[in-house]
Amino acid sequence: MNKTILVTGGSRGIGAATAILAAQKGYAVCISYRRNQVAADRVIEQIQSLGGRAIAVQADVCSELDVIRLFEAIDQTSGTLNALVNNAGISAPARRVEAIDVDRLQQIFATNVIGSFLCAREAIRRMSIERGGPGGAIVNVSSGAARLGSPNEYVDYAASKGAIDTMTIGLAKEVADAGIRVNAVRPGFTHTEIHAAMGEPNRLERVRSTIPMQRGGTAIEVANAILWLLSEEASYCTGAIVDVTGGR
Ligand code: NAP
């Protein structure tokens, strides 16, 4: 039997690379997306052309009802969930804290923090060996921003990822004896569309000289770390946070 993985925000960027790599490693894949169905369909077609199994479900991770519907779709198609990648996330245009408004804060924290908690909750309910599940593994996608704080750009986003690091540490301890490992990756500047969505498509070029390796990362470089943390090769690894930042 194939293992089943859910990658939230699997329609583009790091999530899409993770979903495709997971399929190549033999997982049956479910991706969720917020609104870009064309991009989601493209990922599904790519996985199917590789001989893999995949479904896409529109579900906003900010909505509890959507998250419940997402996991029920997996129950109905694959049955058992073995792995979750809490990847769906947003940033926002560069602003100092004195200029941010409550809508922006609510969007960032609802997507990056509450969304990750809701998906972790649903996954644990299905994976926990204490509840008759098979155990499993969760990887949360944090950010190097959690360490650096991102002054003058998005302290709010950085703080939301700090919450993800803390969640990873606490949840790992909470569910270790339920057979579930919980780890995180902290990507640095990575070539995806998130920078254009924040209003600065050439951001990586601007910051390149601040990265010790003098380049941005690729989505597949982050996906490789995620898939390793999910794998049996990382079987004694829980509560770990892996930086994939080119040394920054
Ligand atoms: P991206 O290219 O902008 O893709 C974001 C993905 O998340 C899309 O699939 C999007 O769906 C989905 N999404 C956004 N909001 C959602 C919501 N409310 N519900 C469900 N899905 C939602 O982003 P990325 O750069 O790959 O980032 C992925 C993760 O890595 C994020 O958590 C981000 O914070 C983190 N990260 C990225 C970088 C970087 O430099 N790229 C660095 C550090 C950390 P749609 O396609 O439908 O919009």
CA of 129 to the centre of ligand 1 (A): 30
Query: Which numbered atom of ligand 1 lies nearest the CA of 197?
Result: 3
Q: Which of 8, 14, 64, 248 to mutate to test the pocket of ligand 1 (most atoms within 8 A of CB)?
A: 14
Instruction: Bin 239: left if φ > 0, else alpha if -120 < ψ < 50, else beta.
Output: left
Residues 10-60 pLDDT 10s: 999 999 999 999 999 999 999 999 999 999 999 999 999 999 999 999 999
* CB 20 less than 6 A from any atom of ligand 1: no
pLDDT above 90 for 242? yes
pLDDT mean over 99-122: 98
pLDDT above 90 for 79? no
* CB 187 less than 6 A from any atom of ligand 1: yes
pLDDT above 80 for 1? no
pLDDT at 62: 98
pTM here? 0.98
CA of 147 to the centre of ligand 1 (A): 19
Tell me the C-alpha distance between 123 and 237, whole Å. Answer: 19
What residue ranges define each of the domains in the chain, with the CATH number in brackets? 3-244 (3.40.50.720)
Query: Which numbered atom of ligand 1 lies nearest the CA of 111?
Result: 18
* CB 143 less than 6 A from any atom of ligand 1: yes
pLDDT at 175: 98
Which residue's alpha carbon is nearest to atom 24 within ligand 1? 13
Structure tokens at 105: 């804060």
Contacts of 60 (CB under 8 A, 6+ apart): 34, 66
Query: Which numbered atom of ligand 1 lies nearest the CA of 60?
Result: 19
pLDDT at 2: 85
pLDDT at 203: 93
Residues 193-241 pLDDT 10s: 999 998 999 999 999 999 999 999 999 999 999 999 999 999 999 999 9
pLDDT at 78: 82
* CB 156 less than 6 A from any atom of ligand 1: no
Give the chain's mean pLDDT. Answer: 97
- At position 39, the amino acid (one-letter code) is A
Instruction: Identify the weakest region by mean pLDDT among 74-78, 104-108, 119-123, 184-188.
Output: 74-78
Query: Which numbered atom of ligand 1 lies nearest the CA of 39?
Result: 46
Classified as helix, coil or strand, 104 is helix
Q: What percent of the chain has pLDDT over 90?
A: 98
Tell me the C-alpha distance between 79 and 47, whole Å. Answer: 20
Residues 151-163 pLDDT 10s: 999 999 999 999 9
Tell me the C-alpha distance between 119 and 193, whole Å. Answer: 23
